[in-house]
């Protein structure tokens, strides 16, 4: 069993056997997040490996990877509301959500600018290496 799967299973076990109080919800959420991350990684791996598959398996593998990523995206969106409500102290869930979205947008913008700057110094087009 991979280390991440073992950790997810261990967290879920600890959350249901022996822990009491508010910490149980946090541990259960962490265990769920572990499984979501594992599904995203598996979906990406299957989708990236699909060009290497035989011609008859390309489309099913590409679709399976895309479905795995879509399911985890839906799960992530659904849990975002619960986490936002958890961090909203005085009924200000809209403010917390707006701050989270602006931080996400700023982080994405900084990352894209940094990548464009790195690619711009290369002096040429970025291409896949030829096989």
Quick: pLDDT tens for 2-25.
445 555 555 555 555 565 555 666
Helix axis angle, 23-49 relative to 3-16, nearest 10°?
Answer: 150
Burial of 46 (C-beta count, 10 Å sphere; 0-12/13-18/19+): buried
Distance CA 93, CA 25 (A): 19
How confident is the model over 61-88, as pLDDT tens digits?
Answer: 989 988 988 888 887 777 777 778 877 8
The Cβ of residue 61 has, within 10 Å, a number of other Cβ atoms equal to: 18
Q: What is the mean pLDDT of residues 25-39?
A: 71
Lowest mean pLDDT among 28-42, 50-64, 79-93: 28-42
Does 56 score more than 60 pLDDT?
yes
Residue 109: what pLDDT?
Answer: 94
């Amino acid at each position: 069993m991979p280390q991440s799967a073992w950790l997810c299973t261990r967290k879920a076990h600890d959350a249901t056997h022996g822990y009491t109080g508010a910490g149980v919800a946090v541990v259960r959420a962490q265990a769920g997040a572990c499984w979501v991350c594992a599904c995203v990684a598996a979906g990406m791996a299957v989708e990236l490996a699909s060009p290497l598959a035989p011609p008859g398996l390309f489309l099913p593998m590409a679709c399976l990877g895309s479905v795995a990523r879509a399911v985890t995206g839906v799960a992530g969106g659904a849990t975002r509301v619960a986490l936002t409500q958890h961090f909203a102290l005085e009924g200000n869930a809209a403010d917390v959500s707006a701050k989270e979205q602006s931080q996400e947008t700023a982080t994405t913008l900084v990352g894209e600018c940094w990548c464009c700057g790195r690619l711009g110094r290369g002096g040429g087009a970025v291409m896949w290496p030829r096989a």
